[in-house]
């Protein structure tokens, strides 16, 4: 049967829509075929994989997830692949390696197709669909969207040469749970941008009446634009909205709230207790999450109290009983000055008991602290965002899913693919701050948020309220009615994506380039545009940065491969080519963090206070990165997530820099670029004395203890015995033995560099040996090393060596170098490891002044060393000294 491609616009729960097609596909295709679903977020992918693994296991159908959170599995082993658009784009870029696998894909399911209209992700979805149907005309495509009025255009796009596309559009009445949407307008001063914050705060005080009117005493989910707005909104509701909770629910909330960690508070308390009382007071009072800034002036006053008075009062607080009594009477007249109370507290001897007591005191002073998560949960309210730790998030989700919590305030990230029993959903303000200024939520975000109301497994009806400004009322009315068409976003990303297709040989000449563009939704929606002119413009731009060759046919060049392999934007590549700064590590890092890829990352207002304490530099992302390499403990959970994103983006940018400078840069800038790339891989400076930190299982505290014991280099660490390590870090013998084995499995390189012939060309022989290759093989510690020969900062020879191919032999090369390129008769060989710190080797030869005997001795030593470490694989014929010709 020749199935047609399908475009569906249906207001429904997404599970059954794609499952029926998967059953249908496996019913007509071989069990060895593959089906792919592209889902909008990682959360949706995880949910789908868990669901389908259970449902399809009786059919021996294997399901896997392809996102940035999981390692790439062998795709040959799976029948269903659930991937995010970005991951599937990355996977399909490797068609040369996986073309046989891609040919097995018979069904492509596109969930939440309205993300085509998103500026940042829409182009990615459009490209992967256009790429797959361009290569595989027999591919079946199922596109699903809750709001898709322009189905005719989309059908023209997803059809292939062999399959037409059918369109099915369902009214809102087909939704399993009826959803009523209400749009409420509130005045906003669009001229004064500072009023965005005031507008958001004012809306917080209007929520209580809306919840009372529309919630029917059922759970309510409120979406806010920022993390600080989430916490402020929850605190306002705790004061304004009184919930009637049963005794049973109160008991459950009391038990669960005791499990909440409030780890930011505890971690900062512990750190300040052990680092000094004055630092504790100053930074703790300035903490934006818990304290009001107005108390800082009071802080200055009470810090003037004499030390003698503090010591006198300290005598009254000698026992645990007295401290507990103090906690119980913290609002009495015994200690009316809360600031004096805190000073007394921090001057006590340090015990875990007193840390707990201090937290209890601070929680009881509700007039002084903002509401913590524990206070909110006890009141039947909670907040949820990526800035709280994972344990607290799991507890909050569990309580809300079981309707123990009546109100949950969250950021928009919770809207993607998570089902909760929310009868009422409120979108509090559709405006938020971004890098470009004040923006509105995207169509996908709004649809996902209001779609959380009235889920089929929890409720029979749902209500969604959108709180916005008067000028946006018509826009959101059209959105709810499904009147906003999905528009292609490929125009702003056409250059990079054409380069990808050139690299895949999908575009080999001008004619195939025109054909590919006509295969996109962008062309269908703009069919009057001059395709030839667009293609010529893209080719001109790519030729300008030397990314392609356009002679008899269009082919990709080295610079183009850098863009494709490392997913670097055209603008960033143009900046890399035009880099003319000093080749220092500092300048390279500043340059990297100024590129387009990092500009899309923004740090929240509350985070900037912490970053400004690290460094006053305007480049706060670089400050955070440097803090990580300098072993500064990052306590804030949201900053930890930002740091992960910085490392993720930095890895691809730095590797692109290395690939470019190895071909075009000087030796110094190439070496420093490799160092920068290694920073993102190892999180250690190249000259750090905490080499041990690169061993898995060793953190900052243990690293410092080992350093204090005198083990600062990799050579000294190799002499470390498990018993000695056990004495230093006070850990079990098995753990210490494992750490020592890991240290000894780091490759130990020997670089041998000698001259064989001096004439118009100089012949040198290079040999690289892994001395501990047996231990490296046991631990599978493969490494990529960059070998560079230079003279006077000019690269004379470069090579990239994967140690995987050195496990049974050495790496050796005879290299000829033009004598005219050598400055001052000196050449230097450099071995730089990409994955390990402390392994680099350097060897220099001055062939003008070096005695003849020394040169010959170096050559003989090559043979002796090889025979010692590779007795079975090195014969006398291979390195016969008699066969060497030395000319002076």
CATH class of 688-744: mainly alpha
Quick check: 30 pLDDT over 80? no
Judge whether 333 and 319 are in contact, CB under 8 Å. no
**Confidence (pLDDT) at 186:** 86
| Residues paired with 528 in a beta bridge | none
Helix (H) or strand (E) segment spanning residue 51: helix 42-56
% of the chain beyond a pLDDT of 90: 15
Q: Look at residues 4, 7, 11 and name the one whose alpha carbon lies nearest to residue 144.
A: 7
**Residue 255 belongs to what H/E stretch?**
helix 247-257
β-pair type (761-770, 749-758):
antiparallel
**786 in Cβ contact with 821 (< 8 Å):** no
pLDDT surpasses 70 at 282: no
Give me the residue spans of the domains in the chain: 12-170, 179-243+380-481, 493-556, 688-744, 746-865
Q: Between 461 and 758, where is the model more confident? A: 461
Spatial distance between the Cα atoms of 93 and 96, rounded to a whole number of angstroms:
8
Find tokens 């005219």 and name the residue.
820
Any idea which architecture 493-556 has in CATH? Answer: Orthogonal Bundle (1.10)
Please count the CA atoms within 13 angstroms of the CA of 274 that sit on its side-chain side.
8
One CATH from 3.40.50.300, 3.30.70.360, 3.40.50.2020, 3.30.1320.10 for 179-243+380-481: 3.40.50.300
Question: Is pLDDT larger for residue 4 or for residue 554?
Answer: 554
Which of the given ranges, 441-455, 548-562, 634-648, 868-882, has the highest pLDDT on average?
548-562
Q: Which of 246-255, 510-519, 703-712, 806-815 has the highest mean pLDDT?
A: 510-519
- Domain 12-170 fold is Rossmann fold (3.40.50)
Q: Which residues pair with 757 in a beta bridge?
A: 763
pLDDT score of 297: 44
Predicted local distance difference test score (pLDDT) of residue 873:
41
d(CA 648, CA 659): 18
Q: Which pLDDT does position 115 carry in this prediction? A: 81
% pLDDT > 70, the chain = 71
Q: Quick one: which of 825, 831, 753, 844 has its CA closest to 798?
A: 831
Tell me the per-residue pLDDT of 792-835, one tens digit each, with 9 for 90 and over: 888 888 998 888 777 666 888 888 888 888 877 788 899 999 88
pLDDT at 22 > cutoff 80? no
Please tell me the distance from the alpha carbon of residue 643 to that of residue 648, in angstroms, as a whole number: 9
Confidence (pLDDT) at 635: 65
Q: Once rounded to an integer, what is the mean pLDDT over residues 8-31?
A: 51
pLDDT at 222: 93
**362 falls in which pLDDT band (50, 70, 90)?**
very low
Residue 683 has pLDDT above 70, yes or no: yes
pLDDT in tens, 554-573: 999 999 999 998 889 999 99
DSSP characters over 540-586: HHHHHTT-EEESSSEEE-HHHHHHHHHT--HHHHHHHHT--S---HH
Give the per-residue pLDDT at 369: 37
Minimal CA–CA distance to 622: which of 653, 655, 647?
647
Is there a shared CATH topology between the 12-170 domain and the 179-243+380-481 domain?
Answer: yes
pLDDT in tens, 145-178: 776 778 888 888 888 777 778 887 777 677 778 8
Instruction: Say if residue 306's pLDDT is above 60.
Output: no
**Tens digits of residue pLDDT in 840-875:** 998 888 766 444 333 433 433 444 444 444 444 443
State whether residue 485 is helix, strand or coil.
Answer: coil
Residue 270 has pLDDT above 70, yes or no: no
Q: How confident is the model at residue 780 (pLDDT cuts 50, 70, 90)?
A: confident
In contact, 303 and 281? CB cutoff 8 Å = yes
Instruction: Please tell me the pTM assigned to this model.
Output: 0.71
pLDDT at 244 exceeding the cut of 70: yes
- pLDDT given at position 262: 52
More confident residue, 296 or 789: 789
The mean per-residue pLDDT over the stretch 92-105 comes to: 70
Q: Give 73-109 as a DSSP string.
A: P-GGG-SEEEE-HHHHHHHHTTHHHHHHHHTTEEEEE
- Please name which of 717, 809, 822 lies closest in space to residue 769, comparing C-alpha atoms: 809
Class of domain 746-865: mainly beta
Q: Evaluate if residue 383 carries a pLDDT over 60.
A: yes
Nearest Cα to Cα of residue 119 among 577, 436, 559, 342 = 436
CA distance 828 to 820: 15
List, for residues 44-75, the tens digit of each pLDDT value: 787 788 888 888 878 778 888 877 766 555 66
pLDDT at 108: 86
What pLDDT score was predicted for residue 532?
92
């Amino acid at each position: 049967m020749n199935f047609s491609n399908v475009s569906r616009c249906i207001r429904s729960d997404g599970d059954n829509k794609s499952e029926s097609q998967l059953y249908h596909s496996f019913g007509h295709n071989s069990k060895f075929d593959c089906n792919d679903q592209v889902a909008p977020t990682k959360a949706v992918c995880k949910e789908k994989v868990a669901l389908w693994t259970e449902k399809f296991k009786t059919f021996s159908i294997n399901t896997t997830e392809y996102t940035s959170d999981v390692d790439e599995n062998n795709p040959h082993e799976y029948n269903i692949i659930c991937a995010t658009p970005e991951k599937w784009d990355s996977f399909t870029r490797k068609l040369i390696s996986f073309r046989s696998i891609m040919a097995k894909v018979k069904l492509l399911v596109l969930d939440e197709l309205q993300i085509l209209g998103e500026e940042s992700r829409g182009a990615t979805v459009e490209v992967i669909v256009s790429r797959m149907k361009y290569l595989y005309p027999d591919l079946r495509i199922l596109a699903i969207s809750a709001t898709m009025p322009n189905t005719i255009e989309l059908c023209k796009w997803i059809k292939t040469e062999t399959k037409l596309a059918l369109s099915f559009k369902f009214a809102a009445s087909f939704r399993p749970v009826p959803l009523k949407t209400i749009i409420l307008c509130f005045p906003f001063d669009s001229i004064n941008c500072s009023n965005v914050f005031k507008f958001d705060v004012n809306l917080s005080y209007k929520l209580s009446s809306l919840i009372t009117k529309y919630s029917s005493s059922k759970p309510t989910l409120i979406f806010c634009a920022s993390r600080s707005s989430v916490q402020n909104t929850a605190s306002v509701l705790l004061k304004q909205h009184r919930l009637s909770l049963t005794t049973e629910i109160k008991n459950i909330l009391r038990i669960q709230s005791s499990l909440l960690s409030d780890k930011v508070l505890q971690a900062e308390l512990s750190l300040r207790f052990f680092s000094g009382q004055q630092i504790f007071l100053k930074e703790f009072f300035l903490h934006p999450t818990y304290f009001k800034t107005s108390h800082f002036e009071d802080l200055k006053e009470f810090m003037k109290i004499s030390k003698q008075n503090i010591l006198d009062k300290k005598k009254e607080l000698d026992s645990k009983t007295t401290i507990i009594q103090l906690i119980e009477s913290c609002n009495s007249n015994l200690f009316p000055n809360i600031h004096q109370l805190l000073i007394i507290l921090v001057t006590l001897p340090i015990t875990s008991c007193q840390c707990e007591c201090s937290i209890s005191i601070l929680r009881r002073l509700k007039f002084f602290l903002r509401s913590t998560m524990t206070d909110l949960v006890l009141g039947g309210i909670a907040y949820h965002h990526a800035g709280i730790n994972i344990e607290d998030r799991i507890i909050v989700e569990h309580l809300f899913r079981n309707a123990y919590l009546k109100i949950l305030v969250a950021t928009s990230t919770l809207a993607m693919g998570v089902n909760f029993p929310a009868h009422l959903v409120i979108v509090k303000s559709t405006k938020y701050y971004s890098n470009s200024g004040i923006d509105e939520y995207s169509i996908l975000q709004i649809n996902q948020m209001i779609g959380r109301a009235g889920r089929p497994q929890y409720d029979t009806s749902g209500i969604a309220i959108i709180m916005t400004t008067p000028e946006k009322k018509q826009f959101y009315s059209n959105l709810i009615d499904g009147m906003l068409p999905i528009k292609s976003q490929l125009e702003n990303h056409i250059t990079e994506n054409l380069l990808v297709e050139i690299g895949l040989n999908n575009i080999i000449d001008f004619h195939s380039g025109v054909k590919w563009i006509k295969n996109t939704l962008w062309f269908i929606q703009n069919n009057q545009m001059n395709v030839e002119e667009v293609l010529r413009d893209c080719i001109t731009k790519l030729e300008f940065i030397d990314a392609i060759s356009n002679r008899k046919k269009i082919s990709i060049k080295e610079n183009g491969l850098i863009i494709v392999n490392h997913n670097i934007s055209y603008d960033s590549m143009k900046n890399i080519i035009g880099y003319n700064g000093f080749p220092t590590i500092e300048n390279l890092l500043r340059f990297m963090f100024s590129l387009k890829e990092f500009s899309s990352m923004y740090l929240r207002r509350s985070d900037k206070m912490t970053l400004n304490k690290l460094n006053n530099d305007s480049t706060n992302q670089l400050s955070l990165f440097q803090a990580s390499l300098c072993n500064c403990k990052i306590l804030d959970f949201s900053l930890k997530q930002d740091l992960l994103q910085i490392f993720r983006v930095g890895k691809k940018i730095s590797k692109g820099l290395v690939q470019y400078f190895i071909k075009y840069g000087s030796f110094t800038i190439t070496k420093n670029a490799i160092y920068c790339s290694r920073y993102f891989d190892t999180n250690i400076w190249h000259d750090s004395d905490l080499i041990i930190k690169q061993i898995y299982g060793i953190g900052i505290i243990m690293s410092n203890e080992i350093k204090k014991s005198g083990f600062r280099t990799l050579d000294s660490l190799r002499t470390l015995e498990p018993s000695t390590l056990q004495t230093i870090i006070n850990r079990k013998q098995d753990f210490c033995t494992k750490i020592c084995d890991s240290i000894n499995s780091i490759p130990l390189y020997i670089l041998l560099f000698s001259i064989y012939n001096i004439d118009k060309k100089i012949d040198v022989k290079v040999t690289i040996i892994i001395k501990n290759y047996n231990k490296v093989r046991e631990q599978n510690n493969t490494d990529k090393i960059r070998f560079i020969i230079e003279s006077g900062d000019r690269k004379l020879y470069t090579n990239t060596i994967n140690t995987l191919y050195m496990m049974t032999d050495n790496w050796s090369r005879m290299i000829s170098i033009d004598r005219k390129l050598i400055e001052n008769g000196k050449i230097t060989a450099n071995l730089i490891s990409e994955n390990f710190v402390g392994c680099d080797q350097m060897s220099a030869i001055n062939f003008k002044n070096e005695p003849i005997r020394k040169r010959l001795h170096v050559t003989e030593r090559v043979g002796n060393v090889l025979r010692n470490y590779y007795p079975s694989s090195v014969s006398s014929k291979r390195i016969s000294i008699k066969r060497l010709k030395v000319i002076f």
